Structure 1
Amino acid sequence: MTDTTRCGFAALVGAPNAGKSTLLNCMAGAKLSIVSPKAQTTRFRVLGILMREKTQILLVDTPGIFRPKRKLDRAMVAAAWTGAEDADVTLFLVDARAGLTDDVRSIVETLKGGKRRIWLVLNKTDLVEPQKLLPLTAELSELLPVEHVYMVSARKGSGVEDLLTALANSLPESPWLYPEDDLTDLPDRLLAAELVREQIFLQTHEEIPYSATVETESFQERPDGSVRIEATVYVSRAGHKSILIGEKGRRIREIGMKARKQLESLLERPCHLFLNVKERAGWDEERARLRAIGLDDAD
């Protein structure tokens, strides 16, 4: 039995809604990255730390790569490529049902220009007739040299074990970079803001588009071991503020209650969460707001 340890980064790259966050959470066995039916939910790099026998797999979930318009969009796309640049393996996730879209072709062109080790991961294969998967694989492999091809369903977990085993065996020999009981490098205050944002997506559906962001204003440890968190939700229009608060404050209370339960589960201690909603037009073009949600400037 060898004592050699392995450690390395695997970046999840793909178009919006390819299922990167779902795959990260499935691999890690815990909710690290927020998931919603809306595209572009992930806004910054999220690291999942996964132990596989003597290998530490550092899974980097990145924002979906798309054509940016606003400063927020540009910062998200920059975060995606930064997350992928230094990875030992790039997992190029493609929605098998959507196939070879313009966004996928655009990512292929960028990936071709680097020296990355690329593994093609076809996701949502449970939603596609099996005979359609091989032609799609052949077409993508012709456009982009890939080391391996994996077919998975992140939602159901099928094929994920094989992918993890292969990853663990392919990463370089190295000491571990994080304590083995760590799940993520995401700061707790950023995690709190993300869980609130996820509930906004899940509970407001199409009413509140991507004009909402959440910042943790205060994160205080209390003597009894619990934590007191104050967070502000910024929206760009007055109408969105009233929808978010809801009649007699019911909607925002429900958002806070569900986010608090998720947070208590992840932090493994009682949490007291207080939410405030403010209208702030154009927040997605403000450098200070983008830095507060974990994004660097991208002009």
Structure 2
Amino acid sequence: MSEVTRAGFVALIGAPNAGKSTLTNRLVGSKISIVTRKVQTTRFPVRGVFVEGNSQVVLVDTPGIFKPRRRLDRAMVASAWGGAEGADAVVHLVDVQSELAVRENRAKAADHRQIEDAQAITEGLKASGHPAILALNKIDGIKRDSLLAVTQSYFDTGAYSEVFMISASQGSGVGDLKARLASLMPEGPWLYPEDQTADLSMRLLAAEITREKIYLRVHDELPYAAAVETTAFEDRPDGSVRIEQNIYVERDSQRSIVLGKGGQTLKWIGQAAREELGEMMDRKVHLFLTVKTDERWAERRDLYGQVGLDFDV
């Protein structure tokens, strides 16, 4: 008699910078979501796949849920809630360090925004009538009494069925969460081959890796005004790959920032992206970057379609 298999979807939702991408990468065991100090780094649902026992779990790393101000914001938030609605289980990730900073009156503006967004998510989950799993993240160095107090305040809302205390960056508690998610998946055949860890095309992943390097290098100077599009992805006879990408910014002053003096910043971005892509694909990568100014790139319908966002929200 063959072993019963399970497969299903888990949506990771939370405020920007709660650590969803870090947790996704930790659960999957490889990098599929970009991680930077910038909030709202993830712009569209990224599906990671992991196997635990006889269960295959498809993680949907959603964009952070926040108060939208522009079309791209609205599309990201709609995508996040859409991912939650269609999932077999929902995990709400909360930055417990920001929560405690607010409670102890030592919070920065970013902490207040983080918790306001987290509370709005709690209200949304409560209204849905489907209890979620609460995951308190960034527990490193936090006293147990403080963690229990935060847990109680969230649990009393009635929006959650259970709670896990984890550190996505260090791995603490992630194994228990992983096992629990696997147990919640419905019976059924696996949805992906056993060795597949992501449902993301290499063209799109390549663009995301370059976007990550841009923010890592110019995170202070450049706001959320950059997009990367892979315009060519060509396998070469020698086994290498040629990738051409456009980097879009809204103003000429931002283009100058990305280029850097004598093109040095763009050179660093290209080299860092090329090296990581080469390691991921285990072959030589020829990467060619072009920086273009387009003040209306965030209004281009085709860019939304490429990453699965709804342009018309």
Q: TM-score, normalised by structure 1?
A: 0.96
The separation in 2 between residues aligned to 1:57 and 1:117, in whole angstroms, is 19
Q: For residue 136 of structure 2, what is the aligned residue in structure 1?
A: 122
Of 196, 199, 207, which residue of structure 2 is paired with 1:185?
199
| Alignment-mate amino acid for residue 19 of structure 2 | G
Structure 1 runs of 4+ aligned residues shifted over 3 Å read none
Q: Report if the CA contact (8 A) 1:88-1:117 is conserved.
A: no
Q: For residue 166 of structure 1, what is the aligned residue in structure 2?
A: 180
Q: CA deviation at 1:263?
A: 1.2
The separation in 1 between residues aligned to 2:36 and 2:85, in whole angstroms, is 26
Q: Report if the CA contact (8 A) 2:131-2:158 is conserved.
A: no
Q: For residue 148 of structure 2, what is the aligned residue in structure 1?
A: 134
SS in 2 for 1:244: helix
Q: Report if the CA contact (8 A) 2:132-2:162 is conserved.
A: yes
Q: CA deviation at 1:83?
A: 1.2
The separation in 2 between residues aligned to 1:267 and 1:53, in whole angstroms, is 27
SS in 2 for 1:107: helix
SS in 2 for 1:150: strand
Q: Report if the CA contact (8 A) 1:108-1:144 is conserved.
A: no
| Alignment-mate amino acid for residue 48 of structure 2 | G
Q: CA deviation at 1:2?
A: 5.9
| Alignment-mate amino acid for residue 66 of structure 2 | F
Q: Report if the CA contact (8 A) 1:70-1:285 is conserved.
A: no
Q: Which runs of 5+ in 2 are unaligned?
A: 103-114
Q: For residue 53 of structure 2, what is the aligned residue in structure 1?
A: 53
Q: Report if the CA contact (8 A) 1:13-1:64 is conserved.
A: yes
The separation in 1 between residues aligned to 2:176 and 2:199, in whole angstroms, is 25
Q: Which moved more, 1:279-288 or 1:81-90?
A: 279-288
The separation in 1 between residues aligned to 2:82 and 2:288, in whole angstroms, is 33
Q: Report if the CA contact (8 A) 1:125-1:151 is conserved.
A: yes
Following superposition of structure 1 onto structure 2, how do residues 225-244 of structure 1 map, counting pairs within 5 Å? 225-244=239-258
The question of 1:254 aligning with 2:268 is answered: yes
% identical aligned pairs: 49
SS in 1 for 2:133: strand
Of 219, 229, 254, which residue of structure 2 is paired with 1:205?
219
SS in 2 for 1:234: strand
SS in 2 for 1:233: strand
Measured against aligned partners, the alpha-carbon deviations of 1:249-296 in whole angstroms (never above 9, x if no partner) come to 111111011111111222222211110000111222332333344422
The separation in 2 between residues aligned to 1:77 and 1:165, in whole angstroms, is 28
Q: Report if the CA contact (8 A) 2:122-2:159 is conserved.
A: no
| Alignment-mate amino acid for residue 275 of structure 1 | L
Q: CA deviation at 1:179?
A: 0.7
Question: How many equivalent residue pairs?
Answer: 299
Q: For residue 14 of structure 1, what is the aligned residue in structure 2?
A: 14
Q: For residue 145 of structure 1, what is the aligned residue in structure 2?
A: 159
CA root-mean-square deviation: 1.5
| Alignment-mate amino acid for residue 84 of structure 1 | A
Q: CA deviation at 1:165?
A: 1.1
| Alignment-mate amino acid for residue 222 of structure 1 | R
Q: Which moved more, 1:62-71 or 1:245-254?
A: 245-254
Q: CA deviation at 1:182?
A: 0.8
Measured against aligned partners, the alpha-carbon deviations of 1:55-99 in whole angstroms (never above 9, x if no partner) come to 101111000000111111011111111111111110010011112
Q: For residue 89 of structure 2, what is the aligned residue in structure 1?
A: 89
Q: Report if the CA contact (8 A) 1:236-1:280 is conserved.
A: yes
Q: Report if the CA contact (8 A) 2:5-2:54 is conserved.
A: yes
